[in-house]
Amino acid sequence: MISRGNYHWKQRFRKASLYVRHRDWSGLRREIKQFLVWKGLIPADIPNVPFALKPLQKEALNEMNRFEAFLAFEGMVFGSEFPIPAYDPYLIRYGEYQFALEMLSLQPGEVLLDMGSGANIFVLFLAYLGIQAIAVDLDPQVEETLQQRRNRVEQVLGSKLNVRFLAEDALHLTLEDASVDEVIAISSIEHMFSAQGPGDVLAIEAIARVLKPGGVAVITLPTGKSFCESPCGDERFGGPYRLYTPPAIRERILSHPELKLLRLAYLVHQTPDPRYDPLFFHRFWTTLLTPEERKKWAWANAILANVFNPIVPAEEGEQQLESVNTALICLKKLREASA
C-alpha cells in the first residue's frame, strides 16, 4: 500500500527526477521544501531551508507520534549537526528507529537495554521519554561521547536522563536474568562474533535470558542476496559483519524457543516513479553524490528515507529481495529462561 506521503511524492517525482538527473539542487530543494510544507514539518513562509522544527515540549509529545517527536528531539538538541545523517549515508537509521518506536511500549520507569549502543542519540531520546536505559557497548571510549551528548540533552531540554553505560561484551552480559522490560539491538548483532559459537545466536540467547516474561526485543539486521559472514571484515566492510537472507534470519534469529515473532518487516529501496527501476534513487544517492553533497540534504534525510527506503511488510519485502536492505524484527519473550 502506498502511504499518503509516498503518493504525494510520486506526483512530484517526475519533475524532481529531472532535477536529480541534471544535479539541479535548487530545483530539487524547492520540490522537497513543498513536500515538507505539505506534511506540516516546516512552515510555508520559511525563507530558506535549513530545516526548522517546532519547539519540543513534554506536554506536546501526546500530540505527536513518537517518530515525529524523535525528529523534533534531534533538531532541538543538535540543530544543524544532524548526528544521524553523519553516520548513516544510506538512509537506513530513521526507518530502524521508526520501527522500534512503533513496537516498544516505553512506559515510564521500564528498563530498556540497548545492546551494542554506540554513542547514538536514540537511547537518549528513549530516556527522555522516561524509561531507565542501559547502554552496553564493548568499546569503553563510547561512554565519553555518550555522556557529552547526554549532558547536551539535559542542558537544552532541562530534563535529567536515567542512562547507565556498561562497557562489556553484549554476549556475556552481567545483567541478572529477567531484569529488563525491553531490548533494542539496532544494526549491532551482525557485528558480534565469539570463539564460543555463532555470535548472533549467542546474542539472541543473551536477549532471551535478560528479558522479563512478556518483554519485547527489537532487532535490525542488514540483508544481502546471500548469507555472508566475515569475522575479520573484507573489502566491502572493514570490520566483522554478516548479511542475512530470510532463511538465515529464520534459522539464526527466529528459532529461539522462548522468543515469539511479533512482527517482521523490511526496509526496501524504492523509486516512486514507474519510469525508473526501484534502485534508481539509491544508486544516485550512494554513487553519484559525494559525502559533501549528501550533507547538503541532511536536513531532509528522514523524509527521503521514508519515501525512498520505506518500511514494508515481510511478504512484500520477500518478493523484491534485490531491493531489500534491512530486516526489522520484533520478538516477545514467552516464558522464564530455562535453567
Residue 339 has pLDDT above 50, yes or no: no
Residue 262 has pLDDT above 80, yes or no: yes
Residue 4 has pLDDT above 60, yes or no: no
Residue 61 is placed in which grid cell? 509529545
Residue 32 has pLDDT above 80, yes or no: no
Tell me what the mean pLDDT of segment 204-212 comes to: 98
Q: What's the Cα-to-Cα distance from 13 to each of 10, 233, 270, 308, rounded to whole Å?
A: 5, 38, 12, 11
Per-residue pLDDT tens over the stretch 228-253: 999 999 988 889 999 999 999 999 99
pLDDT > 70 fraction of the chain, expressed in percent and rounded: 80
Tell me what the mean pLDDT of segment 189-218 comes to: 97
Any idea which of 19-28, 90-99, 142-151, 166-175 has the lowest mean pLDDT? 19-28
Q: Say which CATH number the domain at 140 has.
A: 3.40.50.150
Q: What's the Cα-to-Cα distance from 319 to each of 72, 236, 268, 323, rounded to whole Å?
A: 34, 25, 11, 9
Domain annotation covers residue 69? no
Any idea which of 121-130, 212-221, 230-239, 258-267 has the lowest mean pLDDT? 230-239
Structurally, the chain folds into a number of domains equal to: 1
Residue 53 has pLDDT above 50, yes or no: no
Q: Specify the higher pLDDT residue, 61 or 23.
A: 23
* pLDDT class of 36 with cuts at 50, 70, 90: low
Residue 196 has pLDDT above 70, yes or no: yes
Domain annotation covers residue 131? yes
Residue 12 has pLDDT above 70, yes or no: no
Task: Quote the domain boundaries for residue 239.
Answer: 106-269+320-333
Amino acid symbol at 177 = D
What local confidence, expressed as pLDDT, does residue 31 receive?
73
Domain annotation covers residue 78? no
Per-residue pLDDT tens over the stretch 285-333: 888 777 887 887 787 788 788 888 999 999 999 999 999 999 999 999 9
Tell me what the mean pLDDT of segment 106-133 comes to: 96
Residues facing 194 on adjacent strands = 197
Residue 18 has pLDDT above 90, yes or no: no
- Cα–Cα distance, 183 to 171 (Å, whole number): 13
| Per-residue DSSP letter, 259 | E
Any idea which of 25-34, 162-171, 196-205, 231-240 has the lowest mean pLDDT? 25-34
Domain annotation covers residue 41? no
Tell me what the mean pLDDT of segment 133-140 comes to: 97
Closest C-alpha to 291, from 87, 134, 70, 132 = 87
What local confidence, expressed as pLDDT, does residue 236 receive?
83
**For the chain, what is the mean pLDDT?**
86
Domain annotation covers residue 251? yes
Any idea which of 19-23, 118-122, 162-166 has the lowest mean pLDDT? 19-23
Domain annotation covers residue 181? yes
Q: Specify the higher pLDDT residue, 307 or 161.
A: 161
Q: Specify the higher pLDDT residue, 214 or 79.
A: 214
Closest C-alpha to 149, from 226, 222, 78 = 78
What local confidence, expressed as pLDDT, does residue 292 receive?
80
Domain annotation covers residue 236? yes
Domain annotation covers residue 278? no
Q: Specify the higher pLDDT residue, 112 or 292.
A: 112
Closest C-alpha to 324, from 282, 287, 272, 261 = 282
